[in-house]
């Protein structure tokens, strides 16, 4: 539903509707087209990885529920930054 995103940048908002796929890859300025699968949607595990969740993070068995949970999640790095910022603020006010 949108223009592609760079793999080195954070993933855009994950919603319940499949909308993220991997189509081409560039390695050393050489463009590779993934033709055997054409285009595929990212799996829940791939979406979770893109959000920064470790592979040990448990996801619901249902694909729809897993994608919904990932879409409603706070990425671990963002949670860490928010907590650290609030703790720093509290320490400064004490």
Per-residue pLDDT reduced to its tens digit, 30-76: 887 765 554 578 899 999 998 899 999 999 999 999 999 998 888 88
Residues in the chain: 94
The one-character DSSP state at 25 is E
Question: Alpha-carbon distance 42 to 20, whole Å?
Answer: 6
pTM assigned to the model: 0.52
Question: What tokens appear for 75 in the block?
Answer: 């990425």
């Amino acid at each position: 539903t949108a223009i592609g995103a760079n793999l080195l940048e954070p993933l855009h908002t994950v919603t319940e509707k499949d909308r993220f796929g991997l189509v081409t890859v560039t390695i050393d300025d050489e463009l590779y087209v993934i033709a055997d699968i054409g285009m595929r949607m990212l799996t829940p595990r791939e979406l979770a990885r893109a959000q920064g969740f470790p592979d040990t993070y448990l996801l619901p068995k249902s694909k729809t529920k897993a994608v919904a949970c990932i879409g409603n999640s706070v990425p671990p790095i963002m949670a860490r930054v928010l907590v650290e910022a609030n703790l720093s603020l509290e320490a400064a006010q004490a």
